[in-house]
Amino acid sequence: MNETAELLLALGGILLAGLATDLAGRATLLPRVTLLLILGVLIGPELFNLIPNNIVGQFELIAEMTLLMVGFLLGGRLKYSQLKRDNRMLLGISTIGAVGTALFVGVLLLLFGVPLPLAILLGCIASATAPAATVDTVLSTEHTGRFPRLLLGIVALDDAWGLVLFSFGLSLVAMLNGQGSTGEALMLAVHDVGGAVVLGLAIGIPAAQLTGRISPGQPMLTEALGLVFLCGGLAEYYDVSFLISSMVMGAVIANLAKHHDYPFHAIEGISWPLFAIFFVLAGASLELAALSTLSGVALLYMLGRTAGKILSGWLGASISGAPAKTARWIGVAMLPQAGAAMGMALVAASHYPEYGQTLLSLVIGSTIIFEIIGPVMTRWAMMKNRD
């Protein structure tokens, strides 16, 4: 069988499997994200090996395309008119949730004898969430109201805080090794996050005025995809966060495009098929051998991150005046973790090879668990907070 036939058969099978998992997810408590990841592990190279290697090898590209759309959709949820009632909770929970989790995990690992540089890096990585899994879980449950709106807003900001913390963490470890300064840490954070914000504004402002004119009221699919991929390409070129830049672009368009009926209709129409491919390939790309390397440090990391997200989410919600029920469940809803954490681990491993194997094995192994269990917890938290 030639490569073209293998590719078409695999993509067709994945999309049909996505339809089946969508139906299964509606009938059970398991989100379709979790079901797709399990399916990917089963049909991946390490078990039944039903996916051609040339498709699994394209996972990084598909992941970036999916996360670009996720960022765009998350940005569209950050409309000022909708979030002005929740802006205090949004900032309070997202900031305390990210910083609190990083501190909790870092201190816990230090108390159990983990070297300071490794504890700092793992603490920063622990702050990241999984925007794609969270967005898909919210959209698939079709829940509306304050809690899902607040959750999507928090997730939209959470990886921004995570990237800032990680940038400072890298530079702090360099300082401990005598390789950097506080000024360099600040400049790295400004470049990664500030540059992404500037790029999102630079594309989003003219796009808000120009799109939705050919087909009055809504941007065409070609327009929407063109903007998303243009934003992603420029973010890669200038080495800034493509997730944050696409999120800022989406927020700008949502708030400034007054002539649009709904500027994200076109993208939402194709997001689920791409999500299905992304999550199946994510499961197929995970190395099950990494699970065998999990040790006491990995267990501490996972327990620490779980406790850190729940406690810091409760603290941030309580301080910002959220309802008691929201405070109890918002941290539980933020447990999924995937691409951003794996990306941070790869960067950290390249900077500090002496910790590379520990970082990669631990983060890959914990990602399997958080991506299978996390969306279930997110869905449970949403069911507990129905309006």
Under 8 Å between Cβ of 36 and 17 = yes
Kindly state the tokens that stand for 229. 């991929």
Phi and psi based region of residue 113 (left: phi greater than 0; alpha: psi -120 to 50; beta: remaining): left
What is the full DSSP assignment across 153-164?
A: HHHHHHHHHHHH
Can you give the C-alpha Rg of the chain in angstroms?
Answer: 20
Cβ-contact 68, 232 below 8 angstroms: yes
Q: Which domain holds residue 186?
A: 3-384
Q: How many CA atoms lie within 13 A of 382 on its CB side?
A: 27
Can you spell out the DSSP letters for 316-368? HHHHTT--HHHHHHHHHHT----HHHHHHHHHHHHH-GGGHHHHHHHHHHHHH
Q: pTM of the predicted model, to two decimals?
A: 0.75
CB 334 within 8 A of CB 317: no
Gap between the Cα atoms of 120 and 130, Å rounded? 20
The label of the residue with tokens 């992941």 reads 63
Structure tokens of 269?
Answer: 């129409």
Lowest mean pLDDT among 85-99, 254-268, 271-285, 309-323: 254-268
AA identity, residue 70: V
Query: What is the share, in percent, of the chain residues with pLDDT greater than 70?
Result: 81
pLDDT tens digits along 332-361: 988 888 667 776 776 777 778 888 777 877
Spatial separation of the C-alpha atoms in residues 101 and 312, rounded to whole Å: 6
- pLDDT of the residue at 138: 79
Q: Which two tokens stand for residue 189?
A: 């954070």
Helix/strand/coil percentages in the chain, nearest 5: 80, 0, 20
pLDDT tens across 158-193, in order?
Answer: 777 877 788 778 778 877 777 656 566 567 667 777
Q: Which residues contact 387 (CB under 8 A, 6 or more apart)?
A: 144, 145, 146, 147
Q: How far apart are CA 255 and CA 178, in angstroms?
A: 45
Q: How far apart are CA 134 and CA 105, in angstroms?
A: 22
| The three-state (H, E, C) secondary structure of 47-88, written as one string | CCCCCCHHHHCCHHHHHHHHHHHHHHHHHHCCCHHHHCCCHH
Residue 240 gets which letter from DSSP? S
Give me the residue label for tokens 């269990």.
Answer: 373
pLDDT at 305 over 70: yes
Task: Indicate if the pLDDT at residue 137 is higher than 60.
Answer: yes
| Overall number of domains in the chain | 1
Percent of the chain exceeding pLDDT 90 equals: 15
Tell me the two tokens of residue 289: 């051998």
Short-list 221, 243, 224, CA closest to 232 = 243
107, pLDDT greater than 70: yes
Residue 203, token pair as written in the block: 């594309």
Residue 239: strand, helix, or coil: coil
pLDDT of amino acid 104: 94
Those residues whose C-beta lies under 8 Å from the C-beta of residue 323, and which sit 6 or more positions away, are none
pLDDT of the residue at 263: 54
pLDDT at 29: 62
Query: Buried b / exposed e across 36-67, counting CB within 10 Å, b at 16+?
Result: bbbbbbebbeeeeeebbeebbeebeebbbbbb
Q: Supply the CATH number for residue 186's domain.
A: 1.20.1530.20
Contacts of 99 (CB under 8 A, 6+ apart): 127, 161, 165, 312
Q: Give pLDDT, residue 44.
A: 80
pLDDT band at 204 (very low <50, low <70, confident <90, very high): very high
What is the mean pLDDT of the segment spanning 296-322?
91
* pLDDT at site 143: 66
Please, how many CA atoms are within 13 Å of residue 298, restricted to the half-sphere of its CB?
A: 20
How would residue 220 be classed by pLDDT, with cut points 50, 70 and 90?
low
pLDDT given for residue 264 in this prediction: 59
pLDDT tens for residues 1-47? 677 787 788 888 888 877 787 677 667 666 677 777 778 888 887 78
